[in-house]
A and B are shown apart, each in its own frame.
Chain A
C-alpha cells in the first residue's frame, strides 16, 4: 500500500523552513527520500532505517519514528534550489530487493 505524504504542496520564501511527512499503514523497514525537478530524474537524498535514526546533510535532515511508522523530512533555511517534488519510497522488509513503494509526492516551491 502506498505511503501517504503531507502536505501535497507547499510554497515558501527563501530562508523559511518546511517539514514534509511520509506515513505508512504498514510497519516499515526503511524510508528513502528523493527530490525530482520538473522533467528530470528523481535524485537520491537519504535513507533512514528502522531504529528511529535521524540523518542530515547540509540543511536537509530527516527522522524516522518507528512507533508511528512515519518519516519526516526537514528543510531549513530553504534555498531556491530546493524547489521540486519530494517523494518518499518505503520498504517493509529488508529482503524486498529494494522494490520501493513511493508516495504521491509533495510539491515544494521556494520563491525569492
Chain B
C-alpha cells in the first residue's frame, strides 16, 4: 500500500503530557498538510509544508503545537502540555497537484 500512513492510530494520554504523531506521505508528494477533526465537524487546517519548508500555520496552532518535516519526507506533529480540548482526530494529507490524499488519522484522547 503506497497511501499516506500515520502512527500511532490511537493515543491516550494524561493532561499535561507531551505527545508526538508521525505522518508518512505518498513518496513523490511534495506538499504535506496537518488537519484536526472533532466529532461531527469537517477537518480544520493546522499547518502546511512544501518540501521541508513550513509555509503556513493556522491560528488554531498554539505555541504548544509544533510540526516538522525534516528533509521533506515524513512529518511529525508534537503537542506539549496536552489539554482536554486537544482531544480530536489529527489527519495528515499529502498532494502533488490539487488532489489531497488523507491518511487514516491519529485519534488523541486526553484524560
Contact = CB atoms under 8 A, between A and B. Distances in A.
B43 A42 contact: yes
Contact of B99 (A44, A97, A99, A103): A44
A43 B103 CA distance: 9
A32 to B, nearest CB: 7
A47 B98 contact: yes
A63 to B, nearest CB: 18
B45 interface: yes
Category for how many chain A residues contact B: 20 to 34
B98 A30 contact: yes
A41 B102 contact: yes
Interface stretch (B13-21, B48-56, B63-71): B48-56
Contacts, number: 57
B48 A99 contact: yes
Interface in A70-112: 87, 89, 97-105
B72 interface: no
Nearest to A34: B102
A47 B101 CA distance: 13
Interface in B88-106: 91, 95, 98-105
B45 A105 contact: no
Interface in A8-58: 30, 32, 34, 40-44, 47
A45 to B, nearest CB: 10
B41 A97 contact: no
A30 B43 CA distance: 17
User: Which 8 interchain pairs have the tightest Cβ spacing?
Assistant: A102-B42, A41-B102, A87-B42, A42-B102, A41-B104, A99-B45, A102-B43, A44-B99
Interface of A: 2, 30, 32, 34, 40-44, 47, 87, 89, 97-105
